[in-house]
Structure 1
Amino acid sequence: MPLSIRSEEVNRLAEELAAKRHVTKTEAVKLALVNELQREQVQKTPMERIREIQDRVAALPKSGLEADKAFYDSLNDE
């Protein structure tokens, strides 16, 4: 779905960034959004980032397979 920007200030800022980066206004807006999202991620505490990873891992489907102790021991020559 297209994004429609009706703010003259936002349009001017997008044009300014586009000119400085030698990209289109669309790329300038994308760059600004990506950078802002990355900045948000950095502001999270390490525990918040770990919790997000744990939640993603927990959401993965279970394989139903059990760990094979003999196999893992053989990897370590035990």
Structure 2
Amino acid sequence: MPFHVRDPEADAMLRSYAEEKRVGITDAIKLAVTRAREADESAKAEKLAKIDAILAEVDALPRTGLKADKAFFDDLSGD
């Protein structure tokens, strides 16, 4: 299946990348997409780790045993 890049800048970037990596255009596309997906997954994993750390910190806070003041929070939300 042919692949045509209509954007001249994107085409030049792809050809330059393929030349740098010493691979064909198809392999350059595969490589670039694979690396982009790996970077996305890595970023997602980092964010989840940060969220988990925050949740662990909140869970470690001592419980006061006090109940929330429903009337106060209802007033805040306009109910």
TM-score range, shorter chain: 0.5 to 0.7
Task: State how 1:1-78 maps to structure 2 within 5 Å.
Answer: 2-44=2-44, 45-46=48-49
Q: CA deviation digits over 1:36-77, x for unaligned, max 9?
A: 011000011249xxxxxxxxxxxxxxxxxxxxxxxxxxxxxx
Give me the whole-angstrom Cα distance separating, in 2, the residues matched to 1:17 and 1:26.
11
What do the CA deviations read for 1:1-48 (whole angstroms, capped 9, x no partner)? 54332111111011101111110011111111110011000011249x
CA-atom RMSD in angstroms: 2.2
Q: Which structure's residues are more often helix, by fraction?
A: 2
Q: Which runs of 5+ in 1 are unaligned?
A: 48-78
Residue segments in structure 2 that go unaligned for 5+ positions in a row: 51-79
Q: Which runs of 4+ in 1 moved over 2 A?
A: 1-4
User: TM-score, structure 2 length as denominator?
Assistant: 0.52
TM-score where L is the length of structure 1: 0.52
Question: % of aligned pairs identical?
Answer: 26
Structure number with larger C-alpha Rg: 2
